[in-house]
């Protein structure tokens, strides 16, 4: 009997602990600060909380008090979910992530926002970096571009007036399309006529965007012309050692080995806004489609055979 009671007491205790853990709730609290000098809390600001979990998404909303403070309580704990604290300020979206667990049921979040401007005169490119590597068919170009906003305001871009990032142009024109894969730093990038456009804002400080694209050269020699609309203080290109490379606007700067693979290094800069750098690539592998040549050869052979047969059937000329 004592053993049964002890076991029953243990089961009831475990049930009570599980029920307490299930009924426990969490809280996300914080403050919205305008970091454009003079720094001050933002009162009366709408704050949304998006709860993202498996198979569903829900949203809650609140408003900051006179000291810029907000709080979301009675939040679920446990399971797999992410909490996104979101603010729309001056035409720019700001988001902070938070995660709650039974061990850490409360989080403090500070959302720093900025006054906005459409003036892009203070927007400059700092680093333009690219890596050129051969693939089984064609080449892959991986690009990172860093921009700097030297002001204390958020520079706003819109769909009607987005940021512009021209793809390095290939000459002669490559075979087929040039698929682009976006790696990071983008909001809603669009590709048209060899240019990426995006309405992502640029906050004070620096931001980076990264992408890759592939192409198949038509000849063993090709030129990459890279237009930099925001300029760059430093341009770095790494070209696989199997390719001979020389540039205009960049110069040979030794070699570098990454993950056991050697690259030729080309360096340049500063580059003025709207200026391009060009790199000539020699010794490319050209993936040729022989079928059109085979078809043309078969047609020529058929025509020659028909002509020979016609000549054999023609009666000899009389004298």
Buried b (16+ CB within 10 A) or exposed e, 262-281: ebbbbebbebeeeebbbbeb
Cis peptide before 272 (omega within 30 of 0): no
For residue 209, give both structure tokens.
Answer: 């965007």
Listed by start position, the domains of the chain span 25-113, 123-282
Could you say which DSSP state residue 86 is in? E
pLDDT tens-digit series, residues 58-117? 999 999 999 999 999 999 998 889 999 999 999 999 999 999 999 999 999 999 999 999
pLDDT at 305: 54
Distance CA 47, CA 195 (A): 35
d(CA 33, CA 26): 23
pLDDT computed for residue 306 by the predictor: 56
Q: What is the pLDDT at residue 294? A: 44
Question: What per-residue confidence (pLDDT) applies to 16?
Answer: 42
Q: Render 153-172 in DSSP notation, one character per residue.
A: SEEP--SSS-EEEEPPEEES
3-class DSSP assignment, residue 293: helix
pLDDT on residue 78: 83
Q: Which CATH class is domain 123-282?
A: mainly beta
| Ranges of residues in the chain whose predicted pLDDT is under 70 | 1-23, 287-319
Fold of 25-113: Immunoglobulin-like (2.60.40)
Q: Is 139 in contact with 167 (CB distance < 8 Å)?
A: no
Q: Which two tokens stand for residue 121?
A: 């005169």
pLDDT for position 176: 75
């Amino acid at each position: 009997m004592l053993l049964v009671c002890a076991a029953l007491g243990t089961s009831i205790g475990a049930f009570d602990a599980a029920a307490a853990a299930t009924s426990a709730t969490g809280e996300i609290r914080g403050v919205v600060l305008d970091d454009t000098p003079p720094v001050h809390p933002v009162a009366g600001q709408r704050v949304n909380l998006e709860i993202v979990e498996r198979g569903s998404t829900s949203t809650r909303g609140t408003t900051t008090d006179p000291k810029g403070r907000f709080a979301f309580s009675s939040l679920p704990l446990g399971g797999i979910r992410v909490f996104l604290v979101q603010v729309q300020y001056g035409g720019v979206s700001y988001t902070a992530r938070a995660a709650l667990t039974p061990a850490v049921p409360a989080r403090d979040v500070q959302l720093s926002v900025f006054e906005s401007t459409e003036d892009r005169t203070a927007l400059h490119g700092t680093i333009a970096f690219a890596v050129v590597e051969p693939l089984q068919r064609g080449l892959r170009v991986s690009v990172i571009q860093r921009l700097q906003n030297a002001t204390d305001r958020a520079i706003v871009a819109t769909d009607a007036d987005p940021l512009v990032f021209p793809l390095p142009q290939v000459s002669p024109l490559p075979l087929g399309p040039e698929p682009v894969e976006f790696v990071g730093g983008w909001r809603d990038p669009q590709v048209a006529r060899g240019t990426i456009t995006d309405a992502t804002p640029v906050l004070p400080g620096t931001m980076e965007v990264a992408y890759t694209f592939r192409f198949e050269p038509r000849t063993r020699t090709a030129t990459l012309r890279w237009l930099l609309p925001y300029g760059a203080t430093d341009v770095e290109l790494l070209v696989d050692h199997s390719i001979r490379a020389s540039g205009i606007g960049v110069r040979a700067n030794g070699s570098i080995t990454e993950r056991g693979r050697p690259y030729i290094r080309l360096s340049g800069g500063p580059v003025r806004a709207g200026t391009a750098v060009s790199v000539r690539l020699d010794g490319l592998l050209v993936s040729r489609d022989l079928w059109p040549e085979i078809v043309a050869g078969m047609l020529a052979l058929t025509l020659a055979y028909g002509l020979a047969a016609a000549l054999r059937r023609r009666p000899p000329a009389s004298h």
